[in-house]
Chains A and B, each alone.
Chain A
Amino acid sequence: MSKVIGIDLGTTFSAIASLDDLGNPEVLASIEDNRKITASAIYINGNNVIVGDKALNYIKDESKKVILQTKREMENDVVYSVDQGKWTDDKDLVDVYTPAQVSSLILKKLKDYTTDVKKAVITVPAMFAEKARQATLDAAKMADIEVIELINEPTAAVLHYASLPGVEVGGRVMIFDLGGGTFDVTFAEVKNKKVDVLTSRGDKYLGGRDFDKEITKLMKKKYHDIHKVDIDIDNNKEYMQKAEEVKKILSVKNKTSLSIDGPKGAQQIEITLEEFEESIQTYIEKIKMLIEEAMEASGMKPSRINQTLLVGGSTRIPLITKILTNIMGKPPVKGVNVDEAVVCGAAIYAGLKTEKKILNTEQQAALKDVNLTDVCNFYMGTLALVRDHLTNRDVIANTIIIERDSKLPVSITKRLYTVHEGQETLECSVTQSEGPEENKEFVNIIHQEDLKLPKDRPAKQPIDITYSYDESGKMHCMFTDVESGNSHEIELTPETTQALDKYRKQVEEISVE
C-alpha cells in the first residue's frame, strides 16, 4: 500500500517524511548515513549520479560536475552545463540538465529512503511562480511520484506546529521561514489544530546561501588585504562550502579562523561574528521590509501577534532571533526542529488529502481535528481594454478577478463586453501577479486561448468571466458569451511541460547513488 508521504524539496537541503502508524509525521533517514536531511547537491559524471552529502565531496576536484541550488533556477528557462559548470540559457550544448531533471534526481534519492512511495505532497515556497510550480510537478513525474498537491512551505510548517503535542501554539502567529535559498513570512490564525492562513510574502532570492556568499566576499577581502591578489569566489564552489562552515560556527561562537587556498598559497584568516552580521545587513533590511509588508497586508501589528514560529536552518543565526525579538517585542518560539517542520507539515497535509480508507484508525484520529484554510497568494486577472482617464487613452490593462489573500476556495464572476462590431474571436488571457498591477507588462500571462464568437453581432456583447480557485491551487476559468451561451473552460492545474517525455527518458537512464 502506498505510504502517506510529504517531501520538502529545498534549496540546500531536502527531506522526506511519512505518517507513522499513530498518525505522527516521521522524517525518514538516509540508509547510507542515517541523516534525516539530505543536501540538495548532485554530482553528475555521465550516467553516474551521486545525490546528497556525498556529492559535496567532489566540489574540491570536480566542482563543475556538482550542481547546487537548483531550486533557484526552477522558474528559469535554463539548463546546467556540466562542461561549463554553470546554469546557461544555451540549449545547444550537450550534457545539459534542466532544473526539473536535477530536482527529479533529488526526489529519486529521497524515494529510496523507504518503500512504496507512489504519491506525495511536495512543498514549494509561498511565492513560487507558476512556472516554478510546473517544473516541480515535472520533476515529480520524472521521479515517478504522483503529486497529491503542492503545499506552500510556511503553510506546511504551521500545520506541523499546530499539530505538535507539547507545543502551545495559538492565536495569531507569524511563521518566519528562512531557508537556504528562499524566505517566506506568513501570518496565520491558529486555534487548536485549525489553521487559517491570512497572508504570505516572500523573497525568492534570500536565504542561507546568500549569507554564505557574503562570507566568501569577506574571505576574498581578507586574502586580498594580505596578498594583494584576489581569490576566485565566483567560480570555486569550495569557498561556498567553507563559508557555510564559518556561518554554522558563528551561530554559536563570536569568531572563527579558517585556511583558504589562493593564488599565493594557503592563508589562515579570522572572521568575527560582528563582521558577518555587518555583511548581511542588506538582507536583514529585506527581511524587515517583507515583515512590514505582510503586516500591512493582513492589518496586523507586532503587539497583536501572539507567537513567532521559526522554520528553516538559517533561523539559527543569532542575529535573526535578535531582529525578530526587536520587531515583535518578544522572542520567537524555540525548541522545534526548524529543518524538519516543513516536511512534517507536508506529511500531515498528505494525510489530510489521503482517502480515509487508506489511513488506519489511529491515523484518522490523529488527523481528525486538523483543518487548514489557505489563501490565494496571487492576484488572478485577465487582460481587457480600459479607459485611462488621466491620459485619455484606451489601453489594454490587467483587470483583477480574484484578489490576493482571498480565502480558498473562492469563485468570482465579472462581466466584460466585446469591443468591436462583428467581433468573432475573444482572446481569453489568464494573468497572475503578486501586486494589484494594471500594467500588462507587470503580470504573467499563464494561459491564453481564443474563444470563437458568433458572427455579425454588434459590439458590447456581454461576456461573463468566472474564476474559481480551489484549496489545492487548481484554478478553473470560464469565459462565457452570455447571448450564445458559448463558453471556454480552462482548467489551470500547474501542468507538465510538453518536453517532459524527452527529459524523463534522459532521467530514466540515470541511476542515482
Chain B
Amino acid sequence: MKFVFSLIFIIFLSSTNINAADTNTLKFDNEQLNEFIKKNNLNKIRPNKFKKEKKFDIRKLKPFIFLGIIIIGVIVSLNNESSEQENNTKSKKSKNRNQSRIDEFIDKSNKKNTDKQRKDEFSYDDEDYKDYEDELETGDLKIMVEEKIDENKPFYFVSAIGNLNFKDKDFKSIEKENNQVKFTVYAFDVTDKEKEVALQGLTEPFKDENYLLSSTRNMEAEPGYGYFEWTPIFIFPKSLVIPPYRGERKIKFVVSATKINAKFEQGKIVNEKDFYFLTESMLNLNFQDPGYLEEDKYEDEVNEKIVQLGLAVAYSENKINQKGVEAIKTWINQKVIWKHYFAENTEEENENKIKYSFLLKNTYELLKNKKLSLSEIVKELNYKSNTSKRYDAMNLLLNVAGSDERLSTEEDKLLNKTARALELDMDRFQQMKTSTIANIDTIDDTNEESEDTIFNFSPDMTNEEKCKKLRQEYTRWNRQTNNSNEKIRNQAKKMVELTANLRKKYNC
C-alpha cells in the first residue's frame, strides 16, 4: 500500500445570520464555492481525511501477466523489508525508497521491451510514480495566496503544499484530541513594519468572534499527512479582504495549526501550549477602494452624497417625487439615525436629524437652481466609498425611482447614467432594475428614447447587439409571465410585448 499526500478541501462552515432575516431559514453556505469544489473535483475526498491512495493499476499490466507476477513478487519482498517501519509510522521515506525500486525495475523491463504500445503503458506508470517522487520532496507545509476568478466573481485562495510539520511531541496531544487539529487563518496588513494590523471581518463565516477576518476548520492529522500538490485550504471572497488604507498594501496570511480549543486574540494565539506550528504567505495588494479605516472616516460624507443622488432621482422630472423623498428618509433612518438610537446617543441622533433635514432642503434648492453637480458627487463617491456601498446607493436610487409606482424616462436615464458612472457591473444593475420594474405599475415606454432607456442601450451599440440584448430581456420577462404574483406577471407581459416590438423595430 502506498499512501501519498492528500487532496483535500473544506465544506464551508455555516454560520449565524447577521441580519437575522428569517428565523426559520436555512443557510446554503456559498453555493458558488461549493459549485467550484464540485467542478474541480475537490470534494472527492472526505473533508477531514488527508489520505489518498495512489493505485498501482494492475490492469495496465494485462499483456504482461508473467512480468507482472515478478513485479508483484518484488513489491511483496520489498514491503516485507520495511513492514515494521511502515506499520509503526507509515514512513514516507521507506515508501519512497520502495517505490523508486519498483520504478527502476519497471524502467529496466521497459527498456527490454520493443513493443511501443507496451512501452507506453509502462511509461504511464513511470511518469505517475515520478510525480509521486516529486510530491514527496515538497518539504514542510507552505502556503500561497492568489486571486482567482470563478464564474465572474473574484476570490483569494489560500493554497497549501507540503508535509504537516508536527513535532513528535505534538502527536501525543493530537492523539488525545482524536487526531484532530485546528487550522486557522488570519490576515494582517504589514505595510507598516512597525504596526501590524489584523484585517477586520464582519461577515460569516469569514470572521472570528472579535470581528477579525478569519477562517477556521478542524482536520484529521497523522504522521505522514500533507498535501502533494497545491491545494486550496481556505478561501475568501475578494470583497472581504479590505486593508486599513487604499493603495499598495502588503497583506500577510498566517495559517496556524493548533489544539482544538486554542484561542486567538488579535490573530495571535493566546496560549503557546496550544500551538503546533504556523506558516505564512505575503500578498501584495493594490487596493483601489478606501480601506476600512478610511471608510469610517468618509462614512458621513458618503451617506450625504448618496442622499443627494437619491434626491436628484426624485427630482429628475423637474418636480419633486414626494414618495421618493419618503424612501430617502427611510434610508436615512436605517443607515444613520438608528445607529445612534441603538448606541443610545440621543445628542448625536438629534444632530443628525437636523443635519439631514438641512441637507435635503439645501439639495432641493441646488436641484431647483440646477447647481447640483452630479458628476462631482459620483466622483467623490467613487473615491470615498467601497463597491458594496455603491450598490447600496443604487438600491436607494431604484427605490426612489419606483416609489411612485412608475418609472419615467428621465428617472431611468439618470439611473443608467449613474450606474455607469459608479462603475457598477451593468448586468447586475440590470437585474436590480428588473426587480424594480417588476414591482411598479407603469413604465414610460411612450417614445423611442424611453424604449432604449429601459433596456439601457448605449449609443454605441450596434443593431445586432441590441437584438441580442432584447432577446435576453425577452427571455428574462417571458419567464415571469408564470409568476404567481399578479403584478409581476402583468408587468412581465408588458415587457415581453415591448421587447418583441423593439425587435421588430430593429429588424432583428
- CB within 8 Å of B: which residues of A? 75-77, 127, 129, 131, 203-205, 281-283, 285-286, 288-290, 292-293, 382-387, 389-396, 399, 414-421, 423, 425-427, 433-435, 437, 439, 441-442, 444-445, 450, 459-460, 463
Note all chain B residues with C-beta closer than 8 A to A382. Answer: 26
Give the Cβ gap from A402 to chain B, nearest Cβ, in Å.
14
Q: Which of A286, A387, A426, A439 contacts B500 (CB 8 A)?
A: A286
Query: Is B321 part of the contact surface with A, judged by Cβ < 8 Å?
Result: no
Chain B 477-494 interface 0/1 with A at a Cβ cutoff of 8 Å (1 = within): 011111111101000010
Query: Is B343 part of the contact surface with A, judged by Cβ < 8 Å?
Result: no
Note all chain B residues with C-beta closer than 8 A to A419. Answer: 14-17, 22-23, 25-27
Query: Is B476 part of the contact surface with A, judged by Cβ < 8 Å?
Result: yes
* B14→A426 contact, CB < 8 A: no
* B27→A384 contact, CB < 8 A: yes
Stretch among B67-75, B182-190, B214-222, B384-392 lining the A interface: B384-392
Note all chain B residues with C-beta closer than 8 A to A414. Answer: 28
Q: Which of A203, A399, A437, A450 contacts B24 (CB 8 A)?
A: A450
Task: State whether A386 and B438 are in contact (beta carbons under 8 Å apart), knowing that A127-B482, A435-B479 are contacts in the complex.
Answer: no
Note all chain B residues with C-beta closer than 8 A to A396. Answer: 21-22, 25
Closest 10 CB pairs of A and B: A417-B14, A434-B479, A427-B24, A460-B14, A389-B237, A384-B28, A285-B503, A416-B26, A392-B388, A435-B479
Note all chain B residues with C-beta closer than 8 A to A434. Answer: 478-479, 482
* B16→A459 contact, CB < 8 A: yes
Q: How far is the CA of A435 from the CA of B492 in the complex (A)?
A: 14
Q: How far is the CA of A460 from the CA of B476 in the complex (A)?
A: 34
B17, B24, B488 interface centre (most CB from chain A within 10 Å): B24
Note all chain A residues with C-beta closer than 8 A to B474. Answer: 286, 289, 293
- CB within 8 Å of A: which residues of B? 11, 13-31, 153, 202-204, 237, 239-240, 387-388, 391-392, 395, 425, 428, 431, 435, 438-439, 470-471, 474-476, 478-486, 488, 493, 496-497, 499-501, 503-504, 508
The DSSP consensus for interface residues of chain A is mixed
Q: Which of A286, A426, A441 contacts B488 (CB 8 A)?
A: A441
Note all chain A residues with C-beta closer than 8 A to B16. Answer: 419-421, 459
Q: How far is the CA of A281 from the CA of B474 in the complex (A)?
A: 15
* B388→A442 contact, CB < 8 A: no
Q: Which residue of chain B is the closest to A465 with respect to CB atoms?
A: B26
* A441→B17 contact, CB < 8 A: no
Q: Which of B481, B483, B500 contacts A289 (CB 8 A)?
A: B500
Q: How far is the CA of A392 from the CA of B31 in the complex (A)?
A: 15
Note all chain B residues with C-beta closer than 8 A to A286. Answer: 474, 496, 500
Task: State whether A441 and B485 are in contact (beta carbons under 8 Å apart), knowing that A286-B500, A390-B387 are contacts in the complex.
Answer: yes
Give the Cβ gap from B317 to chain A, nearest Cβ, in Å.
27
* A385→B22 contact, CB < 8 A: yes
Q: Which of B20, B30, B425 contacts A386 (CB 8 A)?
A: B30
Q: Which of B153, B482, B496 contacts A389 (CB 8 A)?
A: B153
Q: How far is the CA of A433 from the CA of B16 in the complex (A)?
A: 28
Q: Which residue of chain A is the closest to B476 with respect to CB atoms?
A: A435
Q: How far is the CA of A118 from the CA of B50 in the complex (A)?
A: 61
Q: List 6 A-B contacts (CB under 8 A).
A: A285-B504, A288-B508, A289-B500, A390-B425, A391-B392, A420-B16
Note all chain B residues with C-beta closer than 8 A to A205. Answer: 481, 493, 496
Q: Which residue of chain A is the closest to B19 with respect to CB atoms?
A: A394
* A385→B25 contact, CB < 8 A: yes
* B504→A420 contact, CB < 8 A: no
Q: How far is the CA of A273 from the CA of B31 in the complex (A)?
A: 53
* A439→B431 contact, CB < 8 A: yes
* A204→B22 contact, CB < 8 A: no
Note all chain A residues with C-beta closer than 8 A to B30. Answer: 386-387
Q: How far is the CA of A196 from the CA of B428 in the complex (A)?
A: 36
Give the Cβ gap from B508 to chain A, nearest Cβ, in Å.
7
Task: State whether A416 and B28 are in contact (beta carbons under 8 Å apart), knowing that A282-B504, A288-B508, A442-B438 are contacts in the complex.
Answer: yes
Q: Which residue of chain B is the closest to A293 with respect to CB atoms?
A: B475
* A392→B28 contact, CB < 8 A: no
* A444→B471 contact, CB < 8 A: no
Q: Which of B18, B28, B240, B438 contacts A441 (CB 8 A)?
A: B438
* B497→A282 contact, CB < 8 A: yes
Task: State whether A442 and B237 are in contact (beta carbons under 8 Å apart), knowing that A386-B31, A417-B29, A460-B13 are contacts in the complex.
Answer: no
Q: Which residue of chain A is the closest to B202 with respect to CB atoms?
A: A392
Q: How far is the CA of A501 from the CA of B478 in the complex (A)?
A: 34
Note all chain B residues with C-beta closer than 8 A to A390. Answer: 239, 387-388, 391, 425, 428
* B392→A420 contact, CB < 8 A: no
* B239→A442 contact, CB < 8 A: no
Q: Which of B31, B239, B388, B500 contacts A399 (CB 8 A)?
A: B31
* A427→B475 contact, CB < 8 A: no
* B26→A384 contact, CB < 8 A: yes
B15, B30, B476 interface centre (most CB from chain A within 10 Å): B15
* A391→B391 contact, CB < 8 A: yes
A384, A387, A423, A433 interface centre (most CB from chain B within 10 Å): A387
Task: State whether A395 and B21 are in contact (beta carbons under 8 Å apart), knowing that A289-B503, A386-B28 are contacts in the complex.
Answer: yes
Q: Which residue of chain B is the closest to A443 with respect to CB atoms?
A: B483
* B29→A289 contact, CB < 8 A: no
Note all chain B residues with C-beta closer than 8 A to A444. Answer: 482-484
B237, B395, B481, B486 interface centre (most CB from chain A within 10 Å): B481
Q: How far is the CA of A85 from the CA of B206 in the complex (A)?
A: 61
Q: Which of A281, A385, A389, A415 contacts B17 (CB 8 A)?
A: A385
* A392→B500 contact, CB < 8 A: no
Name 12 extra pairs, CB < 8 A, besides A385-B28, A386-B27. A283-B500, A285-B501, A383-B25, A386-B30, A387-B204, A390-B391, A390-B428, A392-B239, A393-B19, A417-B28, A434-B482, A459-B14
* B479→A433 contact, CB < 8 A: yes
* A282→B27 contact, CB < 8 A: no
Q: How far is the CA of A15 from the CA of B26 in the complex (A)?
A: 47
Q: Which residue of chain A is the closest to B502 with respect to CB atoms?
A: A285
* B478→A203 contact, CB < 8 A: yes
Note all chain B residues with C-beta closer than 8 A to A129. Answer: 482, 484
* A289→B240 contact, CB < 8 A: no
Q: Which residue of chain A is the closest to B392 with respect to CB atoms?
A: A391
* B15→A389 contact, CB < 8 A: no
Give the Cβ gap from A490 to chain B, nearest Cβ, in Å.
15
Task: State whether A289 and B475 are in contact (beta carbons under 8 Å apart), knowing that A205-B481, A389-B237, A442-B483 are contacts in the complex.
Answer: yes
Q: Which residue of chain A is the closest to B30 with respect to CB atoms?
A: A387
Note all chain A residues with C-beta closer than 8 A to B11. Answer: 415
* A289→B471 contact, CB < 8 A: yes
Q: How far is the CA of A385 from the CA of B30 in the complex (A)?
A: 9
Q: How far is the CA of A205 from the CA of B438 in the complex (A)?
A: 18
Note all chain B residues with C-beta closer than 8 A to A459. Answer: 14-16
Q: How far is the CA of A427 from the CA of B27 in the complex (A)?
A: 11
Q: Which of A386, A387, A435 contacts B475 (CB 8 A)?
A: A435
* A391→B388 contact, CB < 8 A: yes
Q: How far is the CA of A207 from the CA of B430 in the complex (A)?
A: 30
Q: Which residue of chain B is the closest to A460 with respect to CB atoms?
A: B14
Give the Cβ gap from B16 to chain A, nearest Cβ, in Å.
5
Q: How far is the CA of A307 from the CA of B471 in the complex (A)?
A: 24
Q: Which residue of chain B is the closest to A459 with respect to CB atoms?
A: B16
Q: Which of A384, A415, A442 contacts B480 (CB 8 A)?
A: A442
Note all chain A residues with C-beta closer than 8 A to B508. Answer: 285, 288
Q: How far is the CA of A393 from the CA of B16 in the complex (A)?
A: 13
Note all chain A residues with C-beta closer than 8 A to B497. Answer: 282
* B14→A394 contact, CB < 8 A: no
Task: State whether A292 and B22 are in contact (beta carbons under 8 Å apart), knowing that A282-B500, A416-B28 are contacts in the complex.
Answer: no
Q: How far is the CA of A41 from the CA of B478 in the complex (A)?
A: 27
Note all chain B residues with C-beta closer than 8 A to A416. Answer: 14, 26-29
Give the Cβ gap from B489 to chain A, nearest Cβ, in Å.
9
Q: How far is the CA of A417 from the CA of B388 in the complex (A)?
A: 26
Q: How far is the CA of A470 from the CA of B14 in the complex (A)?
A: 31
Note all chain A residues with C-beta closer than 8 A to B23. Answer: 419-420, 423, 425
Task: State whether A75 and B25 are in contact (beta carbons under 8 Å apart), knowing that A293-B471, A386-B31, A441-B435 are contacts in the complex.
Answer: no
* B239→A394 contact, CB < 8 A: no
* A427→B25 contact, CB < 8 A: yes
